[in-house]
């Protein structure tokens, strides 16, 4: 089409093309998830990775020896400059791609990636509003990029993360999140444990409910911009409950990762 937005002309990088990325680091984030860091080959001849915006994702393509390919989307956990692409992948038992990324892939392997993609489920420094983040499981990945960007910018708007996990050891980035909640005057953290809570935790484990959600989001009030990310049923429940509680749908942004939706 003729009317391609001007920003596309900034570099010769094309978000639709596949680019080789080298796996430079991979470590267990939880018993079932792995953090993977990739880097694009540094070469003046290759197009440069565009600036990342916190909340974006990439597509990853795997190719079998017979040429069969599989593509899945993965959010970036950091938008920091420097050319590193970081994500965390949760292994699904019957999954095609995630078991390979969590257990098969090695440092030094290459992956094909496409992107970065997304201009809506993103947080930019220009955003003055308080931000309420709500994550279920691996849905914390793009929200972590926002938290890190917010902290790196020493941004004055308050951020609050409500993070629902099955049990304490399933939480991604726990040490970093808890440290930040301790030292930063602009970041607060609420946990929800759905199957098993840490010992001494004041609430019995259970799914996030309307009361718990309301209690957490009331702190920042109705002016907050809300980002919700996780498996589809989780996002449906949270976004629906917020709208029923009178929140403006236009202030709620969602990213649905997939999973059973009953339809």
Partner 1 sequence: MGLFSPGFMGRRREPVPGLPPGQHLVTDFPVLSIGPTPRVSTEEWRFSITSESGLMTTWTWDEFQALPQEDVTVDIHCVTSWSKFGTGWRGVSLDTLLEGVDTGAGFAMARSYGGYTTNVPLDELRGGKAWVAHQFDGAPLAPEHGGPARLLVPSLYFWKSAKWVRSIELSTRNDPGFWEQNGYHMHGDPWREERYW
Ligand X SMILES: Cc1cc2nc3c(=O)[nH]c(=O)nc-3n(C[C@H](O)[C@H](O)[C@H](O)COP(=O)(O)OP(=O)(O)OC[C@H]3O[C@@H](n4cnc5c(N)ncnc54)[C@H](O)[C@@H]3O)c2cc1C
Binding site for ligand X (CB under 6 A): 57, 72-75, 87-90, 92, 94-98, 138, 141, 231, 255, 257-259
Q: How far is C-alpha 234 from the chain's CA centre?
A: 14
Pick the piece of the chain touching partner 1 (CB under 8 A) from 39-47, 118-126, 146-154, 180-188: 118-126
Q: CB–CB of 170/31 below 8 Å?
A: yes
Give the one residue of 70, 107, 215, 245 binding partner 1; rule: CB under 8 A: 70
Compute the least distance from the CB of residue 231 to ligand X, in Å. 4
Query: Does 177 participate in binding partner 1 (rule CB under 8 A)?
Result: no
User: Which of partner 1, ligand X, none binds 43 (CB below 5-8 Å, type-dependent)?
Assistant: none
Cβ within 8 Å of residue 230, ≥6 positions away: 135, 136, 137, 138, 139, 164, 256, 257
How far is residue 151's CA from residue 135's CA, in Å, rounded to a whole number?
18
61 C-beta neighbours (distance < 10 Å), count: 14
User: Which of ligand X, partner 1, none binds 75 (CB below 5-8 Å, type-dependent)?
Assistant: ligand X
Query: Does 117 participate in binding partner 1 (rule CB under 8 A)?
Result: yes
User: Which of partner 1, ligand X, none binds 29 (CB below 5-8 Å, type-dependent)?
Assistant: none
User: Which of partner 1, ligand X, none binds 83 (CB below 5-8 Å, type-dependent)?
Assistant: none
How many residues contact partner 1, by CB under 8 A?
55
Give the one residue of 11, 63, 218, 222 binding partner 1; rule: CB under 8 A: 63
Using CB under 8 A as the binding rule, the residues of this chain from 119 to 158 that contact partner 1 are 119-121
Which residue has 């991979």 as its token pair?
A: 26
Burial of 221 (0-12, 13-18, 19+ CB in 10 A): exposed
Q: CB–CB of 242/221 below 8 Å?
A: no
Q: CB–CB of 90/33 below 8 Å?
A: yes
Q: Quick one: how many helices (H) and strands (E) in the chain?
A: 5, 11
How far is residue 18's CA from residue 62's CA, in Å, rounded to a whole number?
11
Closest residue by beta carbon to ligand X:
95
Q: CB–CB of 153/80 below 8 Å?
A: no
Compute the least distance from the CB of residue 100 to ligand X, in Å. 8
What does the binding site for partner 1 look like in residue numbers (CB under 8 A)?
A: 1, 3-5, 8, 15-16, 18, 20, 59, 61-73, 96, 100, 104-106, 109-112, 114-115, 117-121, 232, 236, 239-240, 242-243, 249-250, 252-254, 256, 258, 260-261, 263
């Amino acid at each position: 089409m003729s009317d391609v937005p001007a920003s596309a002309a900034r570099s010769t990088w094309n978000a639709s093309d596949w680019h080789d990325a080298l796996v430079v680091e991979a470590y267990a984030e939880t018993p079932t998830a792995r953090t993977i860091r990739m880097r694009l080959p540094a070469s003046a001849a290759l197009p440069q990775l565009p600036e990342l915006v916190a909340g974006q994702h990439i597509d990853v393509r795997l190719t079998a020896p017979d040429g069969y390919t599989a593509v899945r989307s993965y959010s970036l956990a950091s938008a920091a400059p420097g050319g590193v692409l970081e994500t965390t992948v949760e292994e699904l038992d019957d999954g095609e791609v995630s078991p390979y990324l969590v257990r098969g892939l090695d440092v030094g392997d290459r992956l094909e990636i496409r992107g970065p993609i997304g201009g809506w489920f993103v947080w930019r420094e220009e955003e003055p509003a308080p931000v309420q983040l709500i994550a279920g499981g691996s849905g914390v990945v793009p929200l972590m990029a926002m938290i890190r960007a917010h902290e790196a910018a020493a941004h004055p708007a308050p951020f609050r993360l409500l993070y629902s996990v099955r049990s304490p050891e399933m939480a991604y980035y726990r040490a970093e999140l808890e440290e930040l909640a301790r030292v930063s005057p602009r970041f607060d953290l609420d946990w929800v444990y759905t199957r098993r809570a840490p010992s001494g935790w004041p609430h019995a484990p259970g799914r996030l409910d309307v009361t718990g959600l309301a209690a957490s989001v009331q702190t920042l009030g109705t002016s907050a911009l809300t980002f919700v990310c996780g498996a589809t049923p989780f996002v449906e429940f949270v976004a629906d409950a917020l709208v029923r509680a009178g929140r403006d749908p236009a202030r709620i942004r969602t990213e649905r990762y997939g999973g059973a939706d009953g339809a």
